[in-house]
Structure 1
């Protein structure tokens, strides 16, 4: 009986340490910081453009200025953090400021393309 109780307690401690997603920011600087210029719900991706004041700027203006811009695919493995709460793709809105950490691989198109590992919505 004592062995079963010990085994149950060990299992509880192990399971308590397992989480699918974390609201804890990665321990390195974000790979991209900017405004969500476009949300593509069908493809589950966001276009993030850095160094623009608002999303009312035309595509041509930031494109010709060479602003950092990247499409980030958001997958089931991407953690999205909104003010300390883990959330989902539906929380991402055009005009929000975000910090993005990606897998480290970006297609060198313009805008670049990659996969987001972690997206932090900045309030």
Structure 2
């Protein structure tokens, strides 16, 4: 009985430690997308990230016609949002923020593309 309690204690400690330290640690690979949040759809919990634009004052037609890399990312309850080292939520995302995105690896081939964000790192 005593051995079971000790084993259970170790399992709980390792589980809790894994949850707290891994959540704000950047993934071990390069981001899948880097760009500015051009648009936020709070109702659908999506952000439109466009790469290689200076600010969000550029019109949709300008970046669309230029063929900029653009993706609507779904942000789920499982998506980790890192805001300057602190785990945050969807409400911390703002238009014009530069972000790094890691996604599930599957993107719908529309334009803009569509995918699901696994990890969002707010750069500024």
TM-score normalised according to structure 2 size: 0.90
2:103 is aligned with 1:102: yes
Runs of 4+ in 1 over 6 A off after TM superposition: none
Instruction: Determine which structure has the larger helix proportion and give its number.
Output: 2
Tell me the residue number matched to 1:17: 17
Distance 1:79 1:47 in 2: 17
Q: Secondary structure at 1:120's aligned position in 2?
A: strand
Distance 2:2 2:107 in 1: 54
Q: Secondary structure at 2:19's aligned position in 1?
A: coil
Q: Secondary structure at 2:10's aligned position in 1?
A: helix
Gap runs ≥5 in structure 2? none
- Post-superposition shift, 1:58? 0.3
- Post-superposition shift, 1:87? 0.5
Gap runs ≥5 in structure 1? none
* Residue-pair matches, total: 123
TM-score normalised according to structure 1 size: 0.91
